[in-house]
Amino acid sequence: MSASENRSSLPSGRAVVSTMPDRLIIAEMVLGGVVWMLLVSEGPVQAPVLCWVVVASVSCFLLSSLWLLLSCCGANASTVWLTADAVYHVLATLAYLSAAICLAVITNALSAHKHVSWVGPSAVAVLYKYFIASTILAFITTFLYFIHAIYSVMRSRRAPYTAI
Protein backbone atom coordinates (compact mmCIF):
# COMPACT_ATOMS: atom_id res chain seq x y z
CA MET A 1 0.00 0.00 0.00
CA SER A 2 1.19 3.49 -0.75
CA ALA A 3 1.38 6.20 1.88
CA SER A 4 -1.65 8.06 0.51
CA GLU A 5 -3.79 4.94 0.62
CA ASN A 6 -2.71 4.22 4.15
CA ARG A 7 -3.64 7.71 5.36
CA SER A 8 -7.09 7.61 3.80
CA SER A 9 -8.17 4.15 4.93
CA LEU A 10 -9.38 3.05 8.31
CA PRO A 11 -6.90 1.23 10.51
CA SER A 12 -7.49 -2.36 11.51
CA GLY A 13 -6.04 -4.70 14.06
CA ARG A 14 -3.57 -3.22 16.53
CA ALA A 15 -3.37 0.02 14.54
CA VAL A 16 -6.83 0.98 15.83
CA VAL A 17 -5.44 1.96 19.21
CA SER A 18 -2.38 3.68 17.75
CA THR A 19 -3.96 6.24 15.39
CA MET A 20 -5.21 9.55 16.72
CA PRO A 21 -8.92 9.62 16.07
CA ASP A 22 -9.42 5.92 16.67
CA ARG A 23 -7.72 5.82 20.04
CA LEU A 24 -10.41 8.22 21.29
CA ILE A 25 -13.02 5.47 20.95
CA ILE A 26 -11.82 3.78 24.13
CA ALA A 27 -12.14 7.02 26.13
CA GLU A 28 -15.57 7.62 24.55
CA MET A 29 -16.70 4.16 25.65
CA VAL A 30 -15.33 4.44 29.18
CA LEU A 31 -16.71 7.92 29.88
CA GLY A 32 -20.03 7.12 28.19
CA GLY A 33 -20.37 4.00 30.29
CA VAL A 34 -19.68 5.96 33.46
CA VAL A 35 -22.38 8.50 32.48
CA TRP A 36 -25.14 5.95 32.32
CA MET A 37 -23.85 4.02 35.34
CA LEU A 38 -24.02 7.20 37.42
CA LEU A 39 -27.57 7.84 36.24
CA VAL A 40 -28.91 4.39 37.01
CA SER A 41 -26.93 3.88 40.23
CA GLU A 42 -29.62 5.53 42.33
CA GLY A 43 -32.43 3.35 41.00
CA PRO A 44 -34.70 3.23 37.99
CA VAL A 45 -34.81 6.32 35.81
CA GLN A 46 -38.25 7.91 36.01
CA ALA A 47 -38.14 11.11 33.95
CA PRO A 48 -38.52 10.73 30.16
CA VAL A 49 -35.69 13.22 29.63
CA LEU A 50 -33.34 11.08 31.68
CA CYS A 51 -34.50 8.04 29.73
CA TRP A 52 -33.27 9.81 26.58
CA VAL A 53 -29.89 10.41 28.23
CA VAL A 54 -29.60 6.74 29.16
CA VAL A 55 -30.74 5.57 25.70
CA ALA A 56 -28.28 7.89 23.96
CA SER A 57 -25.34 6.90 26.14
CA VAL A 58 -26.07 3.15 26.07
CA SER A 59 -26.64 3.08 22.32
CA CYS A 60 -23.44 5.06 21.67
CA PHE A 61 -21.59 2.73 24.02
CA LEU A 62 -22.87 -0.37 22.24
CA LEU A 63 -22.32 1.02 18.74
CA SER A 64 -18.81 2.16 19.65
CA SER A 65 -18.09 -1.30 21.04
CA LEU A 66 -19.32 -2.86 17.81
CA TRP A 67 -17.30 -0.36 15.78
CA LEU A 68 -14.16 -1.17 17.76
CA LEU A 69 -14.75 -4.91 17.37
CA LEU A 70 -15.22 -4.60 13.61
CA SER A 71 -12.12 -2.44 13.33
CA CYS A 72 -9.98 -4.82 15.35
CA CYS A 73 -11.16 -7.77 13.24
CA GLY A 74 -10.32 -5.95 10.01
CA ALA A 75 -13.88 -5.88 8.67
CA ASN A 76 -13.57 -2.19 7.74
CA ALA A 77 -11.46 -2.53 4.60
CA SER A 78 -13.97 -1.04 2.14
CA THR A 79 -14.08 2.69 1.40
CA VAL A 80 -17.74 2.69 2.42
CA TRP A 81 -16.53 2.42 6.00
CA LEU A 82 -14.82 5.81 5.75
CA THR A 83 -18.15 7.50 5.14
CA ALA A 84 -19.90 5.32 7.72
CA ASP A 85 -17.25 6.27 10.29
CA ALA A 86 -17.77 9.99 9.66
CA VAL A 87 -21.58 9.73 9.67
CA TYR A 88 -21.63 7.65 12.84
CA HIS A 89 -19.42 10.02 14.79
CA VAL A 90 -21.33 13.11 13.65
CA LEU A 91 -24.62 11.49 14.70
CA ALA A 92 -23.12 10.29 17.99
CA THR A 93 -21.90 13.84 18.66
CA LEU A 94 -25.38 15.24 18.09
CA ALA A 95 -27.02 12.55 20.24
CA TYR A 96 -24.58 13.08 23.09
CA LEU A 97 -24.86 16.86 22.83
CA SER A 98 -28.64 16.72 23.12
CA ALA A 99 -28.38 14.26 26.01
CA ALA A 100 -25.80 16.41 27.81
CA ILE A 101 -27.96 19.51 27.43
CA CYS A 102 -31.03 17.67 28.72
CA LEU A 103 -29.02 16.38 31.67
CA ALA A 104 -27.71 19.87 32.42
CA VAL A 105 -31.27 21.28 32.42
CA ILE A 106 -32.47 18.54 34.79
CA THR A 107 -29.45 19.07 37.05
CA ASN A 108 -30.11 22.81 37.15
CA ALA A 109 -33.76 22.22 38.05
CA LEU A 110 -32.70 19.77 40.74
CA SER A 111 -30.34 22.31 42.30
CA ALA A 112 -33.26 24.39 43.54
CA HIS A 113 -34.63 21.43 45.51
CA LYS A 114 -31.50 20.13 47.19
CA HIS A 115 -31.18 20.59 50.90
CA VAL A 116 -29.07 19.03 53.60
CA SER A 117 -30.72 17.57 56.68
CA TRP A 118 -29.12 17.51 60.10
CA VAL A 119 -28.75 13.75 60.07
CA GLY A 120 -26.89 13.52 56.78
CA PRO A 121 -27.20 14.40 53.15
CA SER A 122 -30.68 14.11 51.75
CA ALA A 123 -31.48 11.81 48.85
CA VAL A 124 -31.93 14.82 46.57
CA ALA A 125 -28.50 16.18 47.49
CA VAL A 126 -26.85 12.83 46.73
CA LEU A 127 -28.76 12.56 43.46
CA TYR A 128 -27.71 16.12 42.63
CA LYS A 129 -24.04 15.19 43.08
CA TYR A 130 -24.42 12.18 40.79
CA PHE A 131 -26.13 14.36 38.19
CA ILE A 132 -23.36 16.97 38.35
CA ALA A 133 -20.74 14.30 37.76
CA SER A 134 -22.68 12.70 34.91
CA THR A 135 -23.34 16.10 33.30
CA ILE A 136 -19.64 16.97 33.30
CA LEU A 137 -18.73 13.54 31.93
CA ALA A 138 -21.46 13.79 29.27
CA PHE A 139 -20.03 17.08 27.99
CA ILE A 140 -16.49 15.64 28.00
CA THR A 141 -17.75 12.60 26.06
CA THR A 142 -19.52 14.92 23.62
CA PHE A 143 -16.25 16.77 23.09
CA LEU A 144 -14.42 13.48 22.44
CA TYR A 145 -17.05 12.41 19.90
CA PHE A 146 -16.78 15.86 18.28
CA ILE A 147 -12.99 15.60 17.91
CA HIS A 148 -13.37 12.08 16.53
CA ALA A 149 -16.03 13.30 14.08
CA ILE A 150 -13.74 16.08 12.82
CA TYR A 151 -10.89 13.64 12.22
CA SER A 152 -13.26 11.13 10.57
CA VAL A 153 -14.69 13.74 8.20
CA MET A 154 -11.19 14.92 7.27
CA ARG A 155 -10.11 11.32 6.68
CA SER A 156 -13.13 10.56 4.50
CA ARG A 157 -12.59 13.72 2.44
CA ARG A 158 -8.97 12.72 1.78
CA ALA A 159 -10.03 9.32 0.48
CA PRO A 160 -10.07 8.81 -3.26
CA TYR A 161 -13.56 8.52 -4.68
CA THR A 162 -14.53 5.03 -5.74
CA ALA A 163 -17.92 3.93 -6.95
CA ILE A 164 -19.56 1.13 -5.02
In terms of Cβ atoms closer than 10 Å to its own Cβ (0-12, 13-18, 19+), residue 4 is exposed
Q: What contacts 39, CB < 8 A, 6 or more positions away?
A: 45, 50, 53, 54, 57, 103, 130, 131, 134
Other beta carbons within 10 angstroms of residue 80's beta carbon come to 11
Res 3: pLDDT: 42
The mean-pLDDT minimum among 12-16, 90-94, 155-159 falls in: 12-16
6 assigned to some structural domain? no
Nearest-angstrom CA–CA distance, 68 and 74: 10
3-state SS, residue 18: coil
125 assigned to some structural domain? yes
33 assigned to some structural domain? no
According to the per-residue pLDDT averaged within each range, which of 21-30, 73-82, 91-100, 128-137 is highest? 91-100
25 assigned to some structural domain? no
- What percent of the chain is modeled with pLDDT above 70? 85
53 assigned to some structural domain? no
Query: Who has greater pLDDT, 116 or 89?
Result: 89
Nearest-angstrom CA–CA distance, 119 and 121: 7
| The model's pTM | 0.83
Query: Who has greater pLDDT, 155 or 116?
Result: 155
3-state SS, residue 74: coil
DSSP symbol at 17: G
15 assigned to some structural domain? no
Domain that holds residue 149: 58-70+79-164
Q: Please give the tally of structural domains in the chain.
A: 1
13 assigned to some structural domain? no
39 assigned to some structural domain? no
